[in-house]
Amino acid sequence: MLVIMKSQATHEEIDAVCRKIEEMGYKAHPIMGSTRMAIGITGNQGPVEAASFESLPGVGECVPVSKPYKLVGRELKEDTTDIDLGDGVHIGGPELAIIAGPCAVESREQAYKIASAVSAAGVRLFRGGAYKPRTSPYSFQGLGEEGLRILADVRKDFGLKIVTEAIDVESIELVDQYTDVIQIGARNMQNFSLLKRAGRSRRPVLLKRGISATLDELLMAAEYILSEGNYNVVLCERGIRTFTDHTRNTLDLSVVPAIQRLSHLPIIVDPSHGTGRREKVIPLSRAAIAVGADGLMIEVHHEPEKALSDGNQSLHPYEFEKLLKEIRQIAPILGRSVAPNPPVR
Ligand code: PEP
Ligand code: MN
């Protein structure tokens, strides 16, 4: 059940409702929308009596939740969650979130070359894995903490926000200390202990859709994170496995409006893993923005042929620039914008 507060409800009235929920042995999740506060209740096994709340001051109405998820749904919050990363960088706001960088951090020189190229193109969010979940145990597994240190230096020297992946409950401890956004990869979408740990972090989480996950499974995975008290989750469509063999995965763009109908969480698209082929990344990026995604996550490498992972799907910096130029033209049709190129320093 959701307790919807009146738009003029005071902090004291909201606190009193939360206290009452906690006294009943449940967890209260106060989530602010654009016009009013809604309080989600979790931890209850059976139904919660609406009458216990309806008479409290400041309460507008009590609404039973019709979906299996309680906190990620639009019933709780009508407007899309706008995640504020500081310094004017948002995910879920009117400005599209463009996250770009290599698949993996391979060296300081490599990370700096790519960061320099993408930041000159106007990017404000840099991606790069320090821990890589690889299909083969013999493939490059990432630089670990050294990679995280390089990312922290990239943040300092280029003013970029960092997105990097935590692959297990061990690595998330360090990732949490270094990053701005914690990425949870497709292979870990149902790693419930990792989701719960991410839910206890104060950092926003980028949750990628599992390789064969349904929309409901993706939303329930996000629900794990919110249920622990972290309400800043970004969903990411990165392609699913089908019988198709002309691409690495099938990018399911129809999931974007489907998610947007059901959930207030922002959703971005990763056409790099979604297609696995460099020449398909630009066309599918255009489509992702046209379909209404809140942003893109794009792999870029200054020497893709030498990349230690995912070179085939990484754009050259000049291709990435072309992509952004096109997205800057498409975005306004949809009432969105892209951060401008910064002045040359
Ligand atoms: C990645 O972003 O580099 C990655 C490993 O993605 P996914 O989890 O979608 O395969
Ligand atoms: Mn990759």
* Cβ-based neighbours of 175, under 8 Å, separated by 6 or more: 130, 131, 148, 164, 165, 166, 182
Per the confidence metrics, is the pTM higher than 0.75?
A: yes
Sheet holding 37-42, edge to edge: 27-32, 37-42, 2-5, 59-63
| Count, residues in the chain | 345
Cα separation of 213 and 195, whole Å? Answer: 15
- Tell which one of 188, 238, 275 to mutate to probe ligand 1, the residue whose CB is within 8 A of the most ligand atoms: 238
Q: Which atom of ligand 1 is nearest to the CA of 127?
A: 2
Round the average pLDDT of the chain to a whole number and report it: 96
pLDDT at site 46: 86
Whether the pLDDT of residue 345 is over 60: the answer is no
User: Is the model's pLDDT at 67 over the cut of 90?
Assistant: no
pLDDT confidence of residue 342: 80
Residues with CB under 5 A from ligand 2 (ion): 103, 310
Q: Is 72 near ligand 1, meaning CB less than 6 Å away?
A: no
Q: Note the pLDDT tens digit of each residue in 97-151.
A: 999 999 999 999 999 999 999 999 999 999 999 999 999 999 999 999 999 999 9
Q: What is the pLDDT of residues 279-308, one digit of tens each?
A: 999 999 999 999 999 999 999 999 999 999
CA 20–ligand 2 middle distance (angstroms): 46
Question: Could you give the CA distance from residue 154 to residue 311 in angstroms, rounded to a whole number?
Answer: 21
Q: Is 208 in the pocket of ligand 1 (CB under 6 A)?
A: yes
Spacing, Cα 130 to ligand 2 middle (Å): 11
Query: In this model, does residue 247 exceed pLDDT 60?
Result: yes
What is the structure's pLDDT at 45?
Answer: 87
Q: Which ligand is nearest to the CA of 238?
A: 1
